[in-house]
Amino acid sequence: MAFPSLILNPATDEHLEGEGYKTGAATTFLWYLLAVLTVGISILLFYWKPVWCIRLLYTRCHVEVADIFILQDKYKQESVVKVVTKSVDSSLCSEYFYESSTDTKRTNAARDVINDISEDDDSDDRQALLSGDEDNVRGKVFRYIDHHSVRYIWNSKKRDYVRLHGLDVGVRCMSLHDKYTGVDDNTRKGLQLIYGVNEIDVEVKSYFILFIQEVLNPFYVFQIASIILWMSDNYYYYAATIMFISLLSIGVSLYETKKQSITLHEMVKTPREERTIFTQPDVRKTVTNYDLVPGDIIEVPVNGCMMLCDAVLLNGNCIVNEAMLTGESVPVTKTPLPHTRDEELFCPNEYKRHVLFCGTQVLQTRYYGNAKVKAVVVRTGFQTSKGELIRSIMFPKPMDFKFYQDAIRFILVLACVAVSGMCFTVYTMLAWQQPPGTVIKRVLDIVTIVVPPALPAALTVGMVYAQGRLKSAGIFCISPPRINLCGKLKLFCFDKTGTLTEDGLDLTGMVPFLGDGLHKVYDDARELPRGPFISAMATCHSLTRMDGVLSGDPLDLKMFEATGWTLDEPGEDTSRFDTLMPTVVRPPVGSEPPIEMFPGVKTEENVEMTTLSEVADVSGKTPYEIGIVKQFTFSSSLQRMSVITRTLGRSHMELYTKGAPEKITSLCLPESIPKDFNEVLKKYTMQGYRVIALACKPLHDLAWHHAQRITRDQVEKELTFTGLLIMQNSLKPETTPIIKELRVANIRTVMVTGDNILTAVSVARECGIISKSQRVIQVLAHPPTETQSARIEWLSHDTAESESEATDEELHFSRGSYQMMINAQKEDFCLTVDGKSFAVLMTYFMPLMPRICLKGAVFARMGPEQKAQLIEQLQSLGYGVGMCGDGANDCSALKAAHAGISLSEAEASVASPFTSKIPNIGCVPTLIREGRAALTTSFGCFKYMALYSLIQFVSVLLLYYGGTNLGDTQFLYIDLAITTTVAFLMGHTHAYHKLVPQRPSGALLSFAPMFTLFAQIILMATVQIIAYVYLHQQYWFTPNESTPGGDFATLTYESTVVFVVSSFLYITLAVNYSVGPPYRKRIWTNKPFFISAIVLWLLSLMLLFYPPEFVEKFLGMKHIDIKHYGFKIILLLFVVIHFLASTMIESFLVDSELFQRFSRCIRRKRRPNNKYKRVAMELVTSTWPPVGEVTYPIPE
C-alpha cells in the first residue's frame, strides 16, 4: 500500500521529504534476533546506517500514526527522527493539543471538536493557544519532531506536521501594536510546552561519550579488527605499536572535538538573567530569560542589556551595538515599529531597523516622560537570528567534491583487488596444506594490507598542514575539507564597499539645485546658503551621541561633520518643542548660514521651504534650530531614509529624504528635477563617485501625535529635489594588484555589490575586473505589465561625450547597435546587471541565465539573497566559486560559495568557512595557493598510500607463493619507519609563491591519474618479481625451510630480498609524489621530509650492502654474505631503474604533448564537461547579445 510522504518546507533550501514508520513488538524481536545471529554486527551496521534498520525492521505507515520518520533533504542526505508525544494539562487549548484516546475514530472526532476554536488571522500555526474554561475528563497530548534544531508540530486540523514559527510569519504589523499586551500564566504554560526553553544550546559531550562514538567510527572499528587479527597471528610488536598510535590519535581527536564544542558552546550560551515582562498593560512580572515566549512584552532596561531573544520595539528608542551581526561597531538607533496599513505583514528583514536581535547589545534606551521602552518577543531559541546562524554552523551545506567521491570509489576498487588477492591466498595456503584457521588469518590479513586503515587519514594530511599555515597568515577556517575545494576555484566574487574599497567615505563636493541647473559645486558646507539643502545634510541621518561622542553610520557622520553644526540629545534644553523631546541640530553660534532663498523651482511649497527669513530673527532672538521629530531609518530595499523635522518658530513640519539618485528622483515632482540631472549624475558616477540625492517636502497640518503614527509611504512622495552629495570611496591599495594576479592566473573576478551600477562599473574598471578594452553592456530587464510582457533591453555603454535622454536607470546607457559584436566576437564584452533586472531574469528568463552569468562582470544593487542566488547559478555552470565580503549582508553568499572569506570579525562571520584578519583581499591568493597545495598533497598522499598497500600486497603474495612471509619487525619498519614518516611529512611542503593559470587535478579516477597509477603498479610489481626470480637463480640460494602444514618461515632469503627491495620502492614513490612547482615549493624546501627521505635511503643502502648483525637480528633478516656484492649491485640497479622510470612517468610523461594526444584519443572527448565551457563555445560563433534589441520570454 502506498502511503503519502511528509513534505516540510516546500520550495525552500530546507525542503524535506519524509517516510513514516511504525514500531511494534515484532520490530523489537527482529532487532534482537539479528543481533544474535550476526554476533552483534547488525548493531554496528544499524549504528552506522540507522536508515537501514528502519526500512528493514519497521512498518511503513501513514504520516498521522507514524512513530518515526526518515527525512531526506534536497542534497539526498537521509536522517532518522523520532516523534515525541507529550502530555498536556486538560485546561489548555491549542490547535496542537488534542484529546488522548486509544480509539482512532474517537480520537479523530475529538480533535475536530476540541480544535474547533477561532484561529487568529495573523497565523495558522502559532496563535491558537488559549486558556480553556471547560474541564475535560481526558488528558491532552501533542506531538512533534525536531530536526536540525527546528520543531515541526502535528496540526490535527491540517492533518500534517507544520513548522513552528514565532510572530515573524503571518502576523500583521498592527497586531503587534494592538493585540499583544502580555501573556498570562496559563497561556505561558502552553506556549512553553510548544516552544521549549528560550536558549541556544550546543551540547558539550563528555569524554566518555566522545570516546565511544570515536571508537565506533568505521575507521577505528577496522583498526580494532586488524589489531585483533595481528595479535592472533603473533604480530605482537606491530599490533601494540598500531594500538598505541590509534589511542594517541583518538586522544588528540577527542581533545580537539571537545575544545571546539566548548568554544562554540561558550560563544552561544545563554546566560541566566531576569527580565521584567508585562502580563497586562500595567501588570509587571519578573521571569528568567529562559522562560520568555513569543508574545511576551518585555521592558528594555534603561542602561541597556544583552538581547536574548528577537523582539520588536513598540515604543521608545534603543541604541544598539550590532557588531555580532554586521561586524560594524557603529551604534545603530532602533526605532518603534511604525503603525502601518492593517493588511501589511511583519517581516524581520524588512523591518530590521525596529527589531532588537538576539545576541546584540542594547547600549541605551530613550523614551518620553515616564513611559518605559517596551518590545514584544517575536522569536526565541534557535528561531532567532542568532539561532539560525548557529544552525548553519552545526549543520553546514554538504560539499560535492569529485576528489572525495573518487576516493571512495577507489577504495572500492582496492576492495575488489583484495578479493582477487584473497582467492590467490586461499589457493596458495591450500597448496601448502595450511590449517583452516591459518587460511582465514592469511585471507583477512590480505584485506588489511590492500585496504590500509590509514588510507582515509591520508586525505586530511594536506588540509591539516594548510590549515596551520592559513592560521599563521591570519586566515581562520571552521571547515577544513573546504581547503581542498579552494584548489579548484575558477571564479571569485567580491563585494565592493569595505572589500575592494575603503570602509569610509569622503565628502568630495555638494551640488545644490540653484534653479538653473546643477552647476555650482561647493567644497565647504559653511558656504552653502541657508535652505533645505544644508538642513537636509544636518538632519537626515541616524547619528547619536554616546558618552559625548557622535557615532553612527560613517556616511552620515561625514555628511554631518561637513556642516559644522552641533547635535544635542534630548534634555531640558529642548522642552521648547511642545511636549516632544527630539534631537536638536543647530549651526555654530555666530556662524549661521546666510539667509538666502534657493532660487530653485518657484512652487508655492518650495518658496515656503526656502524663505526662512519670515521665521528666523536675524538679530538672534529666535535661534535657528531644527528638531528631529521622527526617523524613517535607512532601508536597503527602499534605498533611502527620511526624517520629519520642525524648525524652531515655524508653524509646520518638514520632511527631508536622502538616498539613491534614481530612487529619490522617482519620488520627486517632475518639475523639481533639474534638466541637467542625468548629465551631472552620469559625469560623477562614471568617475567612480558615490552620489547621494537629497529632497524635501513641507508637511502642513501634521501634529506631533500624527507624526509618530504616520507611515513613510504616506509622506515619501511628491518631494522637491534639492541637490546631490558627491562622496568618494577610494580603492584599497592592495585591490588592483590582487585582481591583476587573479586574472593572470585565469581566475575570473566578478563584483557583487549593493551600490549604484555606474559607480560599480567605474570601480570595476579602475581595479581591473573590467579591462579597458572590454565593452560594457547592461542587461536591463523589465517585469511584465498589464499591456506588455517581461522584456530585456540590451544597452551598450556609451563612452562618447553625448547628451543622454535616458531616465532613471537607463540614463547611463545608450540604445545604439553593437556593431563590433558580429564577426565571431572579435571585440570582448562583459555584462552588468542590477538587482531589479536580476529578479526579472530569474523569474522569466532562466534559459538566458547561463550566458548572463558567464559574461557578467558587475552585479549591482543586489540584495543579500540575490547574492546567494547568483553564487548558486555560477556553481550550476560548473565553476568553483569563491566569495569575499565584509558585512552581514554577504553572509548568505559566503555560506553558499565553495570558499567564502569574511573580512569581518563579527560573530555572524563564523558562518563563513574562512575568516580573515587581513582587512583586504590579499587573503584571496593566499587561500587559493594553500588550497592548491593542500589538494596536490592530498592527491599525492592518497596515491602514495594506495601504492604502498599494493607494493606490500605484491610482496606478501610473492612470499606466500614461496611459503614464507615478512617478519613482525619488518612490517613494523615498513609501516612506521618508512610509510608513516614520509606520509606524515609529505604535507609539510609549503605552497608555491605564484598562482599559475592551470589548476591541479581534482578527479582521482580520470584518465591521467589512473594511467600513471597503473603504470606505477606494473613497474613496482615487475621490479619485485624480477628480484624474486633473480634470487632463485643464484648458486648460493637455498629454499626456505617451511613444510606443508607448518608455519611459514620468516627468516628466509626471499623475505629478506623482497623486504630490502620494497623499502627502496616506498621511498621512491614518496619522493615522486612530493613534486614541487607549480603548486608547491621545491622538495628540498621541506627539510624534515627531505632529510627523512635521505636518511631512509641510506638506511636501505645499509640494509642492502652491509647490515649490522644486531639490525639483522632485530629485523629478522637472513644474512647475505658481502662476497655476493655482485648480486646486491644488481638489486641496486633494479631499484635505480625503478626510480628513473617512476620519475619519468610522474614528471615527464603526463605533461608531454604525445601523452595529451593519446589521452584525448582514448577518452574521445568531444566537448567539455563543465557547462560554462560549453556555453562559452556557443558564444564564439554567435552574435549574442542582441544589443539595441528587445528580448521577450520564449513561450513554453
pLDDT exceeding 70 applies to what percent of the chain?
85
Q: Is the pLDDT of residue 1161 over 80?
A: no
pLDDT for position 301: 87
Distance CA 955, CA 947 (A): 12
Q: What is the pLDDT of residues 859-875, one digit of tens each?
A: 998 877 889 899 999 99
Catalytic residue among 125, 291, 445, 495: 495
**Reported confidence tier of residue 577, pLDDT bands at 50, 70, 90:** very low
pLDDT for position 126: 40
pTM: 0.78
**Reported confidence tier of residue 1149, pLDDT bands at 50, 70, 90:** confident
Contact 1145, 1008 (CB under 8 A): no
Contact 935, 1008 (CB under 8 A): no
Q: What is the pLDDT of residues 163-219, one digit of tens each?
A: 999 998 888 888 888 888 888 888 888 888 899 999 988 888 899 998 998 888 888
Q: Which three cell numbers stand for residue 1018?
A: 606494473
Lowest mean pLDDT among 580-584, 796-800, 982-986: 796-800
Which of 886, 924, 753, 919 has its CA nearest to residue 323? 886
pLDDT for position 545: 80
Terminal Cα distance for the chain, rounded: 36
12-26, 451-465, 544-558: which has the highest mean pLDDT?
12-26
Mean of the per-residue pLDDT values for the chain?
82
**Reported confidence tier of residue 257, pLDDT bands at 50, 70, 90:** confident
Beta carbons within 8 Å of 292's beta carbon, 6+ residues apart = 198, 275, 277, 298, 308, 309, 377, 380
- Give the mean pLDDT of 8-14: 86
Long-range contacts of 214-223 (CB under 8 A, 24+ apart): 214/250, 214/253, 214/254, 215/250, 216/44, 216/47, 218/48, 219/453, 219/456, 219/457, 220/246, 220/250, 221/44, 222/453, 223/453
Q: Quote the DSSP letter at residue 670.
A: G
Distance CA 459, CA 1012 (A): 19
Which of 775, 759, 721, 766 has its CA nearest to residue 740? 766
Lowest mean pLDDT among 557-566, 723-732, 1040-1049: 1040-1049
**Reported confidence tier of residue 619, pLDDT bands at 50, 70, 90:** very low
- The DSSP result for 458-476, as a single string, is HTTHHHHHHHHHHHHTTEE
Q: Is the pLDDT of residue 1065 over 70?
A: yes
Q: Which three cell numbers stand for residue 276?
A: 521584567
**Reported confidence tier of residue 1068, pLDDT bands at 50, 70, 90:** very high
**Reported confidence tier of residue 809, pLDDT bands at 50, 70, 90:** very low
Beta carbons within 8 Å of 945's beta carbon, 6+ residues apart = 452, 454, 455, 458, 979, 983
Q: Is the pLDDT of residue 1193 over 70?
A: yes
**Reported confidence tier of residue 1, pLDDT bands at 50, 70, 90:** low
Q: At what angle do helices 757-767 and 735-744 cross, to 10 degrees?
A: 70
Q: Is the pLDDT of residue 617 over 70?
A: no
Contact 1068, 1139 (CB under 8 A): yes
pLDDT for position 328: 61
Q: Which three cell numbers stand for residue 48?
A: 552506522
Residue 296 bridge partners (DSSP)? none
**Reported confidence tier of residue 119, pLDDT bands at 50, 70, 90:** very low
Q: What is the pLDDT of residues 206-251, one digit of tens each?
A: 999 989 988 888 888 888 888 888 888 777 887 888 888 788 878 8
pLDDT for position 609: 47
pLDDT for position 555: 83
**Reported confidence tier of residue 906, pLDDT bands at 50, 70, 90:** low
pLDDT for position 970: 92
- Give the mean pLDDT of 510-517: 86
- Give the mean pLDDT of 966-984: 88
Q: Is the pLDDT of residue 104 over 70?
A: no
Distance CA 953, CA 942 (A): 16
**Reported confidence tier of residue 803, pLDDT bands at 50, 70, 90:** very low
**Reported confidence tier of residue 802, pLDDT bands at 50, 70, 90:** very low
Lowest mean pLDDT among 282-291, 566-575, 1010-1019: 566-575
pLDDT for position 88: 80
pLDDT for position 570: 67
Q: Quote the DSSP letter at residue 5.
A: P
Higher pLDDT among residues 817 and 1168, named by residue: 1168
pLDDT for position 907: 57
Q: Tell how far CA 912 is from the center of its chain.
A: 5
Distance CA 125, CA 162 (A): 7
Residue 553 among the catalytic residues: no
Distance CA 513, CA 518 (A): 5
**Reported confidence tier of residue 821, pLDDT bands at 50, 70, 90:** very low
**Reported confidence tier of residue 4, pLDDT bands at 50, 70, 90:** confident
pLDDT for position 1045: 67
pLDDT for position 703: 83
Lowest mean pLDDT among 33-37, 140-144, 1031-1035: 140-144
pLDDT for position 103: 39
Q: Is the pLDDT of residue 1172 over 80?
A: yes
Higher pLDDT among residues 401 and 990, named by residue: 990
Contact 495, 890 (CB under 8 A): yes
- Give the mean pLDDT of 625-630: 88
The alpha-helical segments, DSSP class H, found in 716-790 are: 735-744, 757-767
- Give the mean pLDDT of 945-965: 90
pLDDT for position 1060: 96
pLDDT for position 546: 75
48-62, 277-291, 609-623: which has the highest mean pLDDT?
48-62
Higher pLDDT among residues 186 and 580, named by residue: 186
- Give the mean pLDDT of 7-36: 89
- Give the mean pLDDT of 808-820: 35
- Give the mean pLDDT of 762-788: 89
In this structure, what are the phi and psi dihedrals at residue 1150, rounded to the nearest 5 degrees? -65, -35
